[in-house]
Amino acid sequence: MISEIRLINYKKFLCERIPLEPFTVFVGPNGSGKSTVASAIHGVATIMRLGLNAAFPEVFFSFDRLINHNAEKFGYKNAPMGFGISGGTDHFCWDYDILFCKDADSPSGFFIHYEGLKLRDGQSSFHCSSGEHPPIDPVLPTKGGDRNQLPRDSARDSLFMQTEKGKDRSDPVLHNNLKKIRRYMQRFITYRFSPPSAIRKGCDRYFGDEHQPLLKPDGSNMAQIVQYLQESRKSLLPRFREWIAEYAEGEARIADVSVAAYGDKVFLNFYEQGKQGRIFPVAEPLISDGFWVFAAMACLASCEVVPTAAFFEEPESHLHPHKLPLLYELFKAMVKREKDPCQILISTHSPYFLDLFKETPDSVILLNQGKAKRLSDIEDYERILSLYTLGESWYSDVFTWGNP
């Protein structure tokens, strides 16, 4: 699980540490940084897997446009940008921080001002760093203590890329642990299902290689995954049917779901039960956008293989407020899976959806103007919530912090 994300001089965030729970919701006005948190986690994952150039290609990101372009504050010639992440997997924990700037004279195209790594497995620990720790508060967790100096020039590729390229495999334990972290972060996905036009379309067929495809960020391969379940994991289909039937309760009585193949494409078909018990296909235009969005999330929750962590941007879009408790239960089921649980991170604008997190204040992160505050850290939040609902408190600015 990812337990904390750190953002330094990245978009709206100057220096912020954001704690994460297995099930976390981010709420705040437009432009407060909800999507930025998702992009930061994706950026760290890309740095670990493919390097800085893949994470920040010049055509997509310009270091000259940093909002907090203040190199002197950091004691550097050029304003750096940085990320940090803490987490745990396979019985060991890690802290990783990196600060860098664009540098045409560097072999990698970047200059890494500071990089630190801590690994702990209960019996032993590893701590290494290179470069100077930035003069920022709070102090990054990779500073201090007994540590090894990274055996390389800090201007070159990050530690993960150095190890991947075979330039530093002198410590096989370190190499294997870095591979585990890289694999874990590789399965972080940000989902955006609005508009749901991509979900409605047909997609390429599943051709029976026994490997379950992961749901794409826009849900466009849902029919392919249902085909996989139908052909290779029939035992998982009933739960998917139960989710969508429960969502449709009180509307069309969805009785079944299946896929139909036409050439190289596969399409998802829903069926409803008529008054005399007969089953009829539901015409695609009659199925609401909200139903398609929920079906995509239900498909993911029913799969055997899910992302290690998933960020859902406004998953309540197109859903009726009365269906939000069901969506909440679906996400909780993903978090509490016995095998391969999925960490769920959500951004929302819905006070109705936010109400569902009233009993878990540590899981609510309020964002505003590049600052993050956990609900449980707000003074008198318990007294406020004894008088108002959580959604009403936020939406009406009772907290006087992070309101829309």
Q: Please write the tens of the pLDDT for every residue from 313-333.
A: 999 999 989 999 999 999 999
- The better pLDDT of the pair 121, 278 is held by 121
Q: Please state, rounded to an integer, the average pLDDT across all residues of the chain.
A: 86
Q: Quote the pTM value.
A: 0.92
The predicted model gives 33-40 an average pLDDT of: 92
Do both 151 and 294 map to the same domain?
A: no
What number of CA atoms fall less than 13 Å from residue 17's CA on the CB side? 14
Do both 164 and 202 map to the same domain?
A: no
Do both 139 and 265 map to the same domain?
A: no
Q: Is residue 400 part of a domain?
A: no
What is the 3-class SS of 317-351, one letter each residue? Answer: CCCCHHHHHHHHHHHHHHHCCCCCCCEEEEEECCH
Tokens of 167: 């330039």
The vertex-184 CA angle with 359 and 169, nearest 5°, equals 145
Q: Is residue 277 part of a domain?
A: yes
Do both 61 and 110 map to the same domain?
A: yes
pLDDT category of residue 277 using cuts at 50, 70 and 90: low
User: What is the pLDDT at residue 165?
Assistant: 66
Q: Please write the tens of the pLDDT for every residue from 195-211.
A: 889 998 889 998 877 78
The predicted model gives 269-282 an average pLDDT of: 77
User: What is the pLDDT at residue 376?
Assistant: 94
Do both 178 and 229 map to the same domain?
A: no
Q: Is residue 329 part of a domain?
A: no
Among 240-244, 250-254, 334-338, 372-376, the least confident range: 250-254
- How many angstroms separate the CA atoms of 349 and 300, rounded? 22
Q: If you ran DSSP here, which 8-state letter would residue 283 be given?
A: P
Do both 154 and 218 map to the same domain?
A: no
| Domains contained in the chain, number | 2
Do both 180 and 217 map to the same domain?
A: no
Cβ pair 140, 83 in contact under 8 A: no
pLDDT category of residue 263 using cuts at 50, 70 and 90: confident
The b-or-e profile of 127-139 (16+ CB within 10 A means b, else e) is bbbbbebbebeee
- The better pLDDT of the pair 92, 170 is held by 92
Q: Please write the tens of the pLDDT for every residue from 132-154.
A: 888 887 789 988 766 676 655 55
Cβ pair 242, 218 in contact under 8 A: no
Do both 203 and 136 map to the same domain?
A: no
Structural domain span for residue 84:
2-21+34-187
Q: If you ran DSSP here, which 8-state letter would residue 13 be given?
A: E
Do both 151 and 208 map to the same domain?
A: no
End position of a domain, from candidates 187, 207, 236: 187
Q: Please write the tens of the pLDDT for every residue from 80-115.
A: 899 999 999 878 899 999 999 888 777 778 888 889
User: What is the pLDDT at residue 78?
Assistant: 81
User: What is the pLDDT at residue 97?
Assistant: 94
Do both 201 and 167 map to the same domain?
A: no
Return the percentage of the chain with pLDDT > 70, whole number.
Answer: 93
Whether the pLDDT of residue 14 is over 70: the answer is: yes
Q: Is residue 49 part of a domain?
A: yes
